[in-house]
Amino acid sequence: MKTLIVGGGGREHALAWAISQSPRVSALFAAPGNGGTDALGTNVDIAADDIDALCSFAGEHEIDLTVVGPEAPLVAGIVDRFRSEGLVCYGPVRDAARLEGSKVFAKEFMARHNIPTAPFDVCATPEEARDAVARRGTPVVIKADGLAAGKGVVVARSVEQAHDAIESMMVSRSFGDAGARVVIEDCLDGEEVSVHAVCAGERALLLPGSQDHKRAFDGDEGPNTGGMGAYAPVPSFRAEDMERAREQIFTPTLNGLRAEGVTFTGTLYAGLMRTADGFRVLEFNVRFGDPETQVLMPMIRGDAFSLLYGAARGELPLDVAVYDDRAAVAVVVAAQGYPGEYRRGMEITGWEQAESEKIIVFHAGTRREDGRLVTSGGRVVAVTAWDRHLTDAVASAYRAVDRIHFEGAVCRRDIGHRALGS
């Protein structure tokens, strides 16, 4: 079976790594891929949002399964296009992808189907938004309606900060049309956890709860990033919490979409907050997270290709599950200056020596150049280790991190600290 991975980050390398282990896979392609996917198959020089070119490639090369990593092509309708050409594509159709593509749609959907989330207002003008802030008080959360590359959410601690965010989003249009409308919602307190589910209609395989580390520096200090590391499972998120999440969030979401004429296939990712009143949905995503995928793929017990291929066709294989005796951690090694300006083209050494039976280096911002591996992005690699206990996995990951070298390499040294109590 021939497989195409759409995207070029660490998430896509992790998906390619898991899928490549299937005996059913005869050829693997990644578009555009990176220095890691290049070692598993063939990189194709097609951008992840070039739906026409991707569809043509899949048809010409008789691709059996296309797996879409990033959110933008999903929101743009890549799955609808592939299906219209008789091609199997893992991910939700455009109407289902609105759960991520529009914060307004997601919040109003949750309200219609009694899915727990923070109280909110939808605002179409700056005046409406400022009035909503006055009613709700601070702290308050301001969210741009559309896709904003993960940057369209502001937690405002004061009225002045809230007004600045509204001005930026709705007047200056810092996120373009994504800020034409905003959601103003109450700021929740509690512990965050992300839960991913591989869905096929009304059925879903829930993967272990994970936690990302968004801030650039140790102690959750510094600017927000795309994610400096992650771990799974979350010790405080127990089996009964997983069932509660299934009953209160995933099942009503899948049923609600079906009641509105949409069948969800693909990954449904719920960012949850545990509050004094139970779990609340902070956001929905409709694809695997990054760097969460780098810790979730080693947690899958069974054939990852069969899991995603089956889900894309509306079926979940019964022989694929998750390890209940394994923990995994991913530590991102980034370029100095990230998430601001940083240099590219630095040679990377030691990464092959860092790998072992239970350690994999997932590439993100890397490329091959004249026989060398060099940096090409802010988040360069994610070192993922797994073991029976998270403590051992973390120790292994950092030993491996210390073997990887490039000029200006930086990383957080406290990934997993919430679970380890440090």
Q: Is 240 inside a domain boundary?
A: no
- Dist CA 408 CA 402 (whole Å): 13
This prediction's pTM: 0.96
Mean pLDDT within 312-325: 93
Helices (H) and strands (E) in the chain, counts: 15, 25
Same domain, 70 and 137: no
Same domain, 89 and 129: no
Same domain, 129 and 89: no
Same domain, 143 and 77: no
Q: Is the pLDDT of residue 418 over 90?
A: no
176-213 core/surface letters (b: 16 or more CB in 10 A; e: else): eebbbbbbbbbebeeebbbbbbbbbeeebbbbbbbbbb
CATH of the domain at 21: 3.40.50.20
Same domain, 17 and 62: yes
Instruction: Write the CA distances from 252 to 114, 128, 157, 259, 314, integer angstroms.
Output: 8, 31, 33, 10, 18
Q: Is 209 inside a domain boundary?
A: no
Q: Is the pLDDT of residue 176 over 90?
A: yes
Q: In this predicted model, what pLDDT tens digit does every residue of 234-265 receive, in sequence order?
A: 999 999 999 999 999 999 999 999 999 999 99
Residue 125 CB coordination number (10 Å): 14
Q: Is 59 inside a domain boundary?
A: yes
Mean pLDDT score across all residues of the chain: 96
Query: Which of the four pLDDT bands, split at 50, 70 and 90, describes residue 150?
Result: confident
Mean pLDDT within 93-121: 98
pLDDT score at 151? 82
Q: Is 13 inside a domain boundary?
A: yes
CA dihedral 184, 186, 189, 193 (to 10 degrees): -50
- The residue out of 158, 180, 202 marking a domain boundary is 180
Structure tokens at 367: 């490329």
- Dist CA 127 CA 205 (whole Å): 43
Mean pLDDT within 84-97: 98
Angle at 219 between CA 216 and CA 223, to 5 degrees: 30
Alpha carbon 407 to chain centroid, angstroms: 28
Q: Is 303 inside a domain boundary?
A: no
Number of domains in the chain: 2
Q: Is 277 left (phi over 0), alpha (psi -120 to 50) or beta?
A: alpha
Query: Can you name the residues that pair with 321 across neighbouring β-strands?
Result: 301
Q: In this predicted model, what pLDDT tens digit does every residue of 366-389 receive, in sequence order?
A: 999 998 999 999 999 999 999 999
Residue 363 CB coordination number (10 Å): 30
- Dist CA 107 CA 145 (whole Å): 10
Same domain, 15 and 85: yes
Q: Is 142 inside a domain boundary?
A: yes
Mean pLDDT within 140-167: 94
48-81 core/surface letters (b: 16 or more CB in 10 A; e: else): bebbeebbebbeeeebbbbbbbbbbbbbbbbbbb
Long-range contacts of 98-101 (CB under 8 A, 24+ apart): 99/253, 99/268, 99/284, 99/285, 99/286, 100/71, 100/74, 100/75, 100/147, 100/283, 100/284, 100/285, 100/286, 100/287, 101/71, 101/74, 101/75, 101/146, 101/147, 101/286
pLDDT score at 132? 97
Q: Is the pLDDT of residue 421 over 90?
A: no
3-state SS, one letter per residue, for 302-364: CCHHHHHHHHHCCCCCCCCEECCCCEEEEEEEEECCCCCCCCCCCECECHHHHCECCEEEEEC
Same domain, 90 and 41: yes
What does R_g of the chain's alpha carbons equal in angstroms? Answer: 21
Query: Which of the four pLDDT bands, split at 50, 70 and 90, describes residue 422?
Result: low
Range of 129's domain? 125-180
Q: Is the pLDDT of residue 336 over 70?
A: yes
Q: Is 69 inside a domain boundary?
A: yes
pLDDT score at 65? 98
CATH of the domain at 133: 3.30.1490.20
CA atoms within 13 A on the CB side of 127: 0
pLDDT score at 117? 98
3-state secondary structure at position 177? helix
Same domain, 76 and 129: no
Residues 6+ apart with CB under 8 A from 378: 225, 226, 334, 335, 337, 338, 339, 342, 365
Q: Is the pLDDT of residue 159 over 70?
A: yes
Q: Is 90 inside a domain boundary?
A: yes
Query: Can you name the residues that pair with 375 across neighbouring β-strands?
Result: 366
Same domain, 76 and 153: no
Mean pLDDT within 350-378: 96
Mean pLDDT within 205-209: 97
Contact 294, 379 (CB under 8 A): no
